[in-house]
Amino acid sequence: GTYRALLTSRLQTIESIVVTSSLYSTQQDIKVGSTYEQVKESFPEVKMVRSEIESRLLARSGNFTFLFDGYELNDPGKISSITISR
């Protein structure tokens, strides 16, 4: 699928949407396949962190979390998914 929504069981409220297709982008034109440099240019306050479970690189800004396909901070690769949280 091109996106996945996580629902709470009681309220049926969407908590987050995960975008895995480059057909969808943020208002700043950041999408799957974009680089960290593009994210940093559009979201100057973005913070890069390493996920604890998979050691994957994540960049967070506001309600966006960008997952990268690389594992090295000096070469994070490209965005493999974007999670939009409420």
Q: Is 4 helix (H, G, I), strand (E, B) or coil?
A: strand
Model confidence pLDDT, tens digit, residues 64-82: 999 999 888 888 999 999 9
Q: What is the pLDDT of residue 8?
A: 53
Model confidence pLDDT, tens digit, residues 1-42: 455 555 555 667 788 999 999 999 999 999 999 999 999 999
Q: Which helix (H) or strand (E) holds 85?
A: strand 79-85
pTM: 0.82
